[in-house]
Structure 1
């Protein structure tokens, strides 16, 4: 999403911003007291650059302010224009001088948007303690190994813990553990240095592949990209959602069980 925004909306000038009239729309901009307070800080501004911090997207404006976006469980940006009807659950629409609009759509309204000055941004507690980002260039396997040993937790729960690692949900935690050959309930402080390196590589490779295939869109079609197109990584999944089907590596049937209320998929032969 950040890469698409960088290519498609950076450099565009905002001529109009609308927070829709529903009560749910105010939940999305809940850090602002009024709709106008939010929209006035966007109108007339150009989008200068994009940045991602954990699960937050930061859209930097040309006056130094920052539009901060968190998609929650179901939020997404979709590009559109006046000829296209707004999708259901559209809460915010940002119109550009040239090149259509940007819609924030969120059925469950757990996401949020707000505009902050650089000083205000520094006081946002959610941005002060961003967890490990597996795609960050400063993320090293040495530091990762130390963090794993310190936590002494079961691997799947730890990889899904947003205070430990940013952005790794149910699907990718299963795929990463399969690629690394590790069981979901393996304790993080029992990994050898070779297993840490394998897990480190698996994190990078699985996430980069998911980005290359533009994300994972399951049957509920909850995820689409900036242009409303589904991702294709679901066709590359090795274990997630494949209970009872043969492992792509060894042909042993994939198993599933509940871990903290979520299904965990794994190969009993390839993962230890």
Structure 2
């Protein structure tokens, strides 16, 4: 029997995670990228492992990898988005806060995706309908919750909406500090944690996140889990100003948008 898309996403993410674990703590070559970013031998090896799994099962699908770019068929209508090591800077200084992201875009279907936490041996996944976490072979349904009050802010550049929004400025908003406690994880593992109820919310600036190898899996997981997802201006994802606000529920989402809107009001 052929493997389903969701099981393939899980297998591919797990293969990448195994490589990330195996390279942890050893000397890694660095390969400079634009904007002061860099990849390591672990990024490249993990991406190769993920693509090998996908190619073996779906040889006619397209693949967009963070390190290798676009490969494979362009006319199949199916494209795998691969982020082999989200949190490379963390990883390079021996922090275990990283994620391995794999998502499938297939026309108008809701994305199938998996995001692996290599060091907790967890794979968060969605079949496009619901979202789960797999650990030790068992699947548990993801249920968002704002109870923690923890909100992750992405403080890394670029800042395409810097004139009206900076995640760092939320820290000075009294409404935010009265309700939430900020965290800076510096990896999209934080997005999956909103779906899992381990974070109340996540906020980042950015543009063109629809086809982002970094965010596609996390967004798919959050939408399938029932989180509230929008751009930083409250409009549907991938429209308007862009960016991303993910919240466990509507009240949390409204509170985060209010903190963002206060920045715009101060500059008007």
**TM-based fold match above 0.5:** no
Q: TM-score, normalised by structure 2?
A: 0.25
Structure having the higher Rg: 1
